[in-house]
Every structure is written in structure tokens, then in C-alpha cells.
Amino acid sequence: MVDFQELADSVYGGKKDKVEELVKAAIGEGHSAKEILEEGLIQGMNRIGIDFKNNRVYVPEVLIAARAMKAGMTILRPRIVEEKVEPKGRVAIGTVKGDLHDIGKNLVGMMLEGAGYEVIDLGVDVAPEKFIQANKEKGVGLIGMSSLLTTTMLAMRDALQAFEQAGIRENVKVMVGGAPVTQKWCDEIGADGYAPDAASAVELAESLICA
């Protein structure tokens, strides 16, 4: 019998091969994709997120855990599709126009994926039109913008104005983050929420999507 605690521990510890082995075994035993996801993979990512937030682990550990999670997800994906497991929500995430930093944005994306969201990663140097397109064509309900430069923080404001002009602001929530970004800046530009780190971004997404 597959022990879901062991699966969660293996994700946490970044043990990619073990995660793959346990996910295959759990499928073989007839567990549903939802169960494997929620009881095993997501639990492991949740824990690493909390420990990262509390400075008990650092970026490398989170990246290694996320790689193990992804390996498990790759095996599970056909099952998820087959069982029509609904994601908690669809999020488009990107680093704003003019900014090429993506380590923090990737961490946020991985944590959101680990928490059960479908994440559309638009990459770096993302123009507002790309976020708008993701909302119109892919139905994303939440847009996440990351900025690491004080100069590109202004691109967040431009993007929000572009969302208004494109008429999508009413039907999409916007969260912002990145080292120079603050709650004050979030309020000033009229975004819906600010998160200081990847684990908080998951908590924020939960509250914004449920709002």
C-alpha cells in the first residue's frame, strides 16, 4: 500500500525518483488522481512553501522539491485529464515588460501549480497585451505580475491601466510581487493583492479566487 505521507515527504525532500515510483504505484493500486494530488504531491509542496516562508529552507531546496513535484505531475497528468480533475483556478503569471528576472516568478508559479492551480507562465518581459490575451483566450481569472527592478515596477501600473482600457479589469484579479514591490505600491496602483513570497502568493491566490 502506498503511503501518502511518504509521497509528501519525498516531494518535500526533492526525491524525484521516489516520487515517480510512488505515483506509479498509487495509480497501480487504483487511487484517483485527485487523491494522489491532494494527499501526496500538494501536501509536500505546501510544507516546503511554509518552511521557505519561515526561512527554514532556501531557494535551492524549493526548486528541487518543485522538480520532484513536476516529475510526479508528468506521470499523473493523463489521469488528471481522464478524471477531469478541475484546477482550483487558472492563473497567468509573468515578469513585467522590461524585466528579465524570473527566479522568484518561477518559484511563485511552481508553488501555485503545487497548490492545484493551472498556471500559464507567460515568461519574462511580458507586455500587458499578453496578459489581456491570456484572460480573453484562456479564461484566466487571476493575473500575477512580478517585478525585480524599481524601474519596471512602473510597468505594473501601465499594465493595470491597459487592463482597464481593454475592459477586462472587472473580471480578473491582479496580484503583484517581487523584491521592490510593497503593499503600499500595490494599493497605489490599484492591484488586488501583494505577496512578499511564494507561499504567501498561494494564500493570496486562494483568497482572491474565492472572493
Binding site for ligand B1M (CB under 6 A): 59, 93, 98-105, 107-108, 144-146, 148-150, 175-180, 195, 197-198, 201
Q: Are 194 and 176 in contact (CB under 8 A)?
A: yes
Cβ-based nearer residue to ligand B1M, 5 or 207: 207
Q: How far apart are CA 53 and CA 177, in angstroms?
A: 14
Distance in Å, CB of 88 to ligand B1M, minimum: 16
Cβ-based nearer residue to ligand B1M, 23 or 143: 143
* Lookup result for grid cell 478541475: 86
Distance in Å, CB of 147 to ligand B1M, minimum: 7
The residue length of the chain stands at 211
Closest CA to 194 of 176, 168, 173: 176
Cβ-based nearer residue to ligand B1M, 16 or 97: 97
Sheet holding 173-177, edge to edge: 118-126, 90-96, 142-146, 173-177, 193-194
Distance in Å, CB of 169 to ligand B1M, minimum: 16
Distance from CA of residue 92 to its chain's centroid? 9
Radius of gyration of the chain (CA): 17
Q: How many CB atoms lie within 10 A of CB 203?
A: 16
Distance in Å, CB of 30 to ligand B1M, minimum: 37
Cβ-based nearer residue to ligand B1M, 121 or 197: 197
Cβ-based nearer residue to ligand B1M, 10 or 200: 200
Query: Helix or strand or coil: residue 93?
Result: strand
Distance in Å, CB of 186 to ligand B1M, minimum: 10
